[in-house]
Amino acid sequence: SISQDIDHILETQSALSVDLGGTNLRVAIICMQGKIVKKYAQPNPRTFEARMHLLLKMCSDAMRDAVSLNCRILGVGVSTGGRVNPQEGVVLHSTKLVPEWSSVNLRTPISDALHLPVWVDNDGNCAALAERKFGHGKGVEDFVTIITGTGIGGGIIHNSELIHGSSFCAAELGHIMVSLEGPECSCGSRGCIEAYASGQALQREAKRLHDEDLLKVEGMDMKLSEPITAAHLISAAKLGNSKANAVLNRACTALGVGIVNILHVVNPSLVILSGVLASYYETPVQHIITERALISAQGIKVVTSDLEEPALLGAASMVLDYATRRTY
């Protein structure tokens, strides 16, 4: 009927977006313009069964809400930690950060449950797609994005397209090693920038200092019951704690050297930092580039993302870009 057609036109073309991170499992309804209409978050379960169950439950709930929000869901985009074969919609392999998450076909169960097309890619790659469509990467042919969250993820755009690599292992930027020895990493190696500069690495160092009673300094606001995080390390350093400062300096140097390595491999024109620690790292990383990059690579720009949710937005962009190409 005519009234149904009008209803249809009035609906906003949208994507259901899923982000499976080292800490949280998030779902969002995101419309064509990149607006996050509604967002859901739960701690990411540590077992495969519980995770898949929660994921499908959160998606179904969001689908129900989408109807009442007048959002027409065109498909599901999934951002996940680990190496992903995006052609098959399969997580090939993950580190300890997301346990029980190897050889997992995500496309089939989600598509079967929701009767929608499903796209899947690595979280860092999704963040790069988000920057390309909505962020600082708009119109930039060659850029790299690095997310510092629980772990460190990355994505590389070359000639306006993602580099996935021959075994979907490109842009695993968190596992660039900047030390032959160095701290152990979730991947089984050591000296990776993730093991120096991720949220988890800083939390580990903060806890270590706290256990040795070396974290808290005069003037620092810290409740007994509070879990120790990277934020405590940063505030201790600001208040003059030299041990906290040394840990953070080492993290900045490691991340900076890792980024210089990226410059000497793919030499993008822009590096976009995202994640909670991005703005903290921006200036030190620029400093390390000046100190340690080849002269020809020093013109690179380093910026902090202004996107609220790069992984979720990038996952949505896989749906929205496809729908745009198909529809228009």
Scanning residues 139 to 178, which ones bind its own copies (CB under 8 A)? Answer: 141-142, 156, 158, 163-173, 175-178
104 part of the interface to Zn ion, by CB under 5 A:
no
If the CB atoms of residues 124 and 151 are measured against Ca ion, the closer one turns out to be: 124
189 makes contact with its own copies (CB under 8 A): yes
CB 26 within 8 A of CB 19: yes
**What helix, strand, coil percent values describe the chain, rounded to 5?**
45, 25, 35
Widest pairwise Cα distance in the chain: 72
Query: Among Ca ion, Zn ion, its own copies, none, what binds residue 316 when CB lies within 5 to 8 Å by partner kind?
Result: none
Confirm or reject binding of residue 171 to Ca ion (CB under 5 A).
yes
Closest CA to 269 of 305, 301, 303, 306: 301
Q: For 217, which DSSP code?
A: -
User: What SS3 state is found at 142?
Assistant: coil
Smallest distance from the beta carbon of 66 to its own copies, in angstroms? 34
CA distance between the termini of the chain: 24
179 lines the binding site for its own copies (CB under 8 A): yes
Segment 95 to 154, residues that bind Ca ion, using CB under 5 A: 122, 124-125, 154
Nearer to Zn ion, 195 or 303 (CB): 195
| Cβ 101 vs Cβ 46: under 8 Å | no
Nearer to its own copies, 111 or 189 (CB): 189
| C-alpha span between 259 and 273 (Å, rounded) | 10
Q: 5, 123, 142, 306: which is the annotated catalytic residue?
A: 123
323 binds Ca ion (CB under 5 A): no
The entry of its own copies, Ca ion, Zn ion, none near residue 296 (CB within 5 to 8 angstroms by kind) is its own copies
Q: How many CA atoms lie within 13 A of 73 on its CB side?
A: 28
State how far the Cα of 123 lies from the Cα of 198, in Å rounded to an integer: 15
Provide the annotated active-site residues: 123
Which parts of this chain interact with Ca ion (CB under 5 A)? 122, 124-125, 154, 171
Residues at the contact surface with its own copies, assessed by CB under 8 A: 83, 92-93, 95, 141-142, 156, 158, 163-173, 175-180, 187, 189-191, 250, 253-254, 257, 260-269, 291-297, 299-300
